[in-house]
Amino acid sequence: MSDKDPIRAALGECRPLFLSAFWFGLFINALMLAVPIYSMQVLDRVLSSGSLDTLVMLTIIVGVSVLFMGLLQGLRALVFSHIGRWLDDKLSSDIVQKTLNLALHKPNIGSQPLRDLATIRGFVTSPALGSLFDAPWSVIYFIVIFMINLWLGVTVVLGAALMLALALVTEKLPAKRSAQANDEQIKAMQAMDAVIRNAEVVKAMGLLEQASRRWRVHNRQWLEHAFSASNLQTVVSHTTRTLRMGLQVLLTGQGAWLVISGGMSAGGIIAVSILSGKALAPFDAAVSIYQAWANSQKAYKRLTELNPASSEANRTMMLPEPRGEISIEKLTFQEKQGSRWILRGINIRIGAGESVGIIGPSGTGKTTLARLLVGVAQPTSGSVRLDGASLDQWDPDQLGRLIGYLPQGVELFSGTVAENIARLDGEADPESIVMAARLAQVHDYILQLPNGYQTDIGLNGALLSAGQKQRIALARCFYRGARLVVLDEPNAHLDAEGELAFVQCLMQAKERGITTITIAHRPSVLQKVDKILVLQGGEAKMYGPATEVLDKMMRPEQNVLPIRRPHGGESELGVSGAT
């Protein structure tokens, strides 16, 4: 599947099925002629001759034709349904991965890409696509009508042209309004998603009215654009329907006049009435077909914008298991939306199995450095290397297994404690889960839960406290052979007992040769680290053995972040929080 346009490539693989469905349309529409021909023959020949044998034979032939027509229509619907399901199976996993990658830089994207895929799948399986495939074969009905009577054929063609013109008006006039309505609807849903995610803050700080007001702005704009577009489409749609009914009346009256004047048989009136309905059906449905097509095109365009750089340019391979040595070379990071430099020219080396602490004032780039170390952000220049290979040279699945990451905002998944520690691995080894929990000093706590490791923690760990979620997320970092663990403010929600357990966790990780990098602002959790990196203004101001760095920071003549001791409390290393 082409990484440049995987949707087009997937649809290209379905081309034989689409071609089959197209040719099904020929046979379906040809068999549909059986009913008007039957009606004309019964009125013109059977009633005049009184032949029951002829009536029986005609009925049997038409019945078989209708049966085959129904089978072909059902088979074509199944083909479209199969294509829709296949597209979902083929694309959904890739779209989820790209959505997650894009969400690192565009958090508000939400689940819109999956809704876009559902829109495309819905169009493929909708009656609109069947009508679109039938449209070219409407020419069969026009030809037959012309064969019955020239003037009736001219009337039907003029009516079809007028209905098509109205459909084009529906396409052009409200198109801009419809696009604006669709954009505002997406913004309204994203605004509501943000309110729901922050429900506790909204409630506690009395932000309900303000948050609702922001949502109402987008919702009102959506309704205004949608109302205008819908009204115009409704007017044109009803005009088209009225025109079609009037055309049916005109054809019937014109046919009766022709019968009276001897220009056509009576059976031709019924036949033309049925045939004109079939011939004009695609034109009558043109508005709804176009709307479904336009929505699927917009969804397709948004999905194509998901695609990151070509996989050919980022081809990776499995590398030998690393020891955990980290090399940071001339690492620089600049905001994409602005010109502000967050990190600039950082050069440090961390030995395999070493424990390093990172400190610095708020906004100095600590969290950005953590994100670069685990590969969720890409440097503007420079590189982060694991055992000599830059992170983009590692196979993503292999790298994910080798890295443990605890961000400031801890997120757990719906499910059990064991599933969260095992990183949602459906075939997780219970021994590995327990080993990770023991290493994180959280095994005994888990055993005290109602169902131990099988305790369901609810949506995003709703049944756990912030400290409990942080400790379980810490265990997740060490699951199944992680060689590099990056912890961003891991003690933010821990009490004194939890901090003591965390220090023991770092000591055990060091014994097992796991490289750990801890961002902290309280020295109590850094008492056992090997080295400390001091960041200030996005630059590495000091890096070396922990005791030497802390000793230098105590000296007032050093132009680095000093250790300050609040009244009656323990020493602190700056202020918590990072860019």
558, part of any domain: no
314, part of any domain: no
Q: For 329, phi and psi rounded to 5 degrees?
A: -120, 115
563, part of any domain: no
User: What are the distances in angstroms from CA 24 to CA 66, 137, 282, 527?
Assistant: 14, 10, 16, 76
CATH number of the domain encompassing residue 283: 1.20.1560.10
193 in the same domain as 81: yes
For the entire predicted model, the pTM comes to 0.63
520, part of any domain: yes
| 471 token code pair | 């400790």
| Structural domain harbouring 110 | 6-304
Q: For 124, phi and psi rounded to 5 degrees?
A: -60, -35
Burial class (CB in 10 A: 0-12, 13-18, 19+), 43: middle
14, part of any domain: yes
Phi-psi region of 262 (alpha: psi -120 to 50; beta: other; left: phi over 0): left
Nearest CA to 281 among 240, 250, 246? 240
> What pLDDT does residue 564 have?
43
The last residue of a domain, from among 272, 304, 336:
304
| 412 token code pair | 């757990």
479 in the same domain as 343: yes
Domain count, the chain: 2
334 in the same domain as 292: no
Quote the CA–CA distance of 79 and 93 in Å, as a whole number: 22
Show the CA angle centred on residue 121, arms to residues 116 and 125, nearest 5°: 150
176 in the same domain as 214: yes
> What pLDDT does residue 310 have?
39
412 in the same domain as 295: no
User: What are the distances in angstroms from CA 337 to CA 300, 364, 401, 534?
Assistant: 26, 18, 32, 27
576, part of any domain: no
User: Averaged in consecutive runs of 10 residues, what is the pLDDT profile of the chain (579 residues)?
Assistant: 68 87 87 87 82 88 91 89 87 79 64 83 86 85 88 88 76 62 68 66 66 70 68 71 82 86 84 86 77 83 67 62 90 80 90 91 88 88 91 86 87 86 85 91 89 84 81 89 89 80 88 91 76 89 88 65 42 39
- If you search the block for the tokens 């000296």, which residue do you land on? 555
> What pLDDT does residue 360 have?
86
Neighbours of 40 (CB within 10 A): 21
296 in the same domain as 350: no
Nearest CA to 128 among 71, 68, 72, 77? 77
CATH number of the domain encompassing residue 436: 3.40.50.300
Quote the CA–CA distance of 480 and 404 in Å, as a whole number: 10
429 in the same domain as 283: no
543 membership: H or E segment, kind and range: strand 539-545
501 in the same domain as 465: yes
250 in the same domain as 109: yes
51, part of any domain: yes
177 in the same domain as 65: yes
270 in the same domain as 340: no
Handedness of CA 116, 118, 124, 126 (dihedral sign): negative
341 in the same domain as 239: no
116, part of any domain: yes
